């Protein structure tokens, strides 16, 4: 079957099998930023934004995703022009092995769009669907808090800009 996605700002049509999840479709087509951690929607490593909601793409059947708008880590900034959330994760050393980070960043971005100035407790709550084994979460929370702080300091919405890129 074919699955049509508005992916990072561009319309794409992908081949998919009946048993494929949205994560399978993304990864088979070179969008490998989302990681396979559990295939049961329990770890959050595959988090992408589907129709403005952060979702675990491993438990969304490809057929159900047909026609939706999907935003992945590939659609945020590039290595030389990072999105503010990505930049905060880099500046706070809020990453180690990095396997959970694309999902964590997508979740954080969605959280900040929903609530631009969350408290530390709200950040913990907002990220609670995403696991990280390396960092003890402290620096991740620092990073998200930092983005919230700088967004609050500015009047603009720099934390929600996307540039619609794709994987190389």
Partner 1 sequence: MSTPDDTDDGDEPERLDGGVVDLQDPDESLDLGTSLSDRENITTDQEKYDARKIVTGEARYTADYRDRFPELAEARIVRSDIPHGRVIDIDTSGAEEMDGVHAVITPWDDVVPDTLYSPSGQSYPEPSPWDTRVLREHVRFVGDPIAAVAAEDRDTADRAARKLAVEYEEYDAVFDIWEATRPDAPRLFDDSEVENETTGADYERNLESHFEGELGNPERVFEATGDEQILETEWETPYQSHCVPEPHTSIVYTDEDDRYTVITATQVPYHTRRQLSHVFDVPIRDVRVVKPRVGAGFGSKQEMVIEPIALALHRKAGLPVKLECTRQEEFYAIRNRHPMALQFKTAVDEDGNPRAMDLYVRENSGAYGTHGMTVASNVGTKAMPLYPRVPHMRFAGDVVHTNLPMGAAQRGYGAPQGMFVVEAHLDELARRLGEDPVEYRKRHAVREGDTDRAAAILKDGDRFERTIRSCGIRECIERGADAIGYDDIDQPGAEHLHRGVGMALCAQGSGVAGKELGAAQLKMNEDGSFILQVGGVDVGSGNDTMFTQIAAETLGCEPDDIVVKSSDTDIAPFDYGAYASSTTYISGRAVQKAAADARERLLEWGGRLLEEPAENLATGGGEVYSEETGASVTLEEIGYESIYGDEDREHIMGQGHHATDESPPPFGAQFLTAVVDEETGEYEIEEMVFAADCGVAINPPLVEGQIEGGVHMSYEFATSGTLSFDGEGNPETLGFRQYGMPRPDEQPPIESIIVETHEPTGPFGAKSIGELPTNGVPPALSNAIRDAVGVRLTSLPIEAEDVKAALDEQPD
- Mapping DSSP to helix (H, G, I), strand (E, B) and coil, where does residue 127 land? coil
Complex with partner 1: residue 116 or 134, whichever CB lies closer:
134
Mode of pairing for the β-strands spanning 10-15 and 69-71: unpaired
Question: Which of 132, 103, 106, 85 lies closest to 44, judged by CA?
Answer: 103
The reply to whether 79 sits near partner 1 by the rule CB under 8 A is yes
Q: Report, in Å, the least distance between residue 135 CB and partner 1.
A: 5
Complex with partner 1: residue 67 or 98, whichever CB lies closer:
98
The reply to whether 119 sits near partner 1 by the rule CB under 8 A is no
Which of 5, 46, 112, 132 touches partner 1 by CB under 8 A?
132
Complex with partner 1: residue 1 or 90, whichever CB lies closer:
90
Site stretch for partner 1 (CB under 8 A), options 6-14, 62-70, 94-102, 153-161: 94-102
Residues 10-49 that bind partner 1 (CB under 8 A): 17, 19, 24, 27, 30-40, 42-43, 45
DSSP lists the bridge partners of residue 69 as 6
Q: Which helix (H) or strand (E) holds 7?
A: strand 2-7
- Distance, CA of 64 to CA of 8 (rounded, Å): 18
Q: Report, in Å, the least distance between residue 41 CB and partner 1.
A: 9
- Distance, CA of 106 to CA of 109 (rounded, Å): 5
């Amino acid at each position: 079957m074919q699955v049509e996605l508005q992916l990072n700002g561009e319309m794409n049509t992908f081949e998919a099998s009946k048993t494929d999840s949205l994560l399978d479709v993304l990864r088979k087509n070179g969008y490998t930023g989302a990681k396979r951690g559990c295939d049961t929607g329990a770890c959050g490593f595959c988090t992408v934004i589907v129709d403005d909601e952060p979702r675990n793409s491993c438990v969304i059947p490809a057929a159900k995703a047909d026609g939706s708008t999907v935003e992945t880590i590939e659609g945020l900034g590039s290595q030389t022009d990072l999105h503010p959330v990505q930049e905060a994760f880099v500046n706070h050393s809020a990453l180690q092995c990095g396997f959970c980070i694309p999902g964590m960043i997508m979740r954080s971005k969605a959280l900040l769009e929903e609530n631009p100035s969350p408290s530390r407790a709200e950040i913990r709550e907002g990220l609670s669907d995403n696991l990280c084994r390396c960092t003890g979460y402290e620096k991740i929370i620092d990073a998200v808090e930092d983005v919230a702080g700088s967004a609050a300091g500015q009047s603009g919405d720099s934390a929600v800009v996307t540039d619609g890129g794709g994987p190389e």
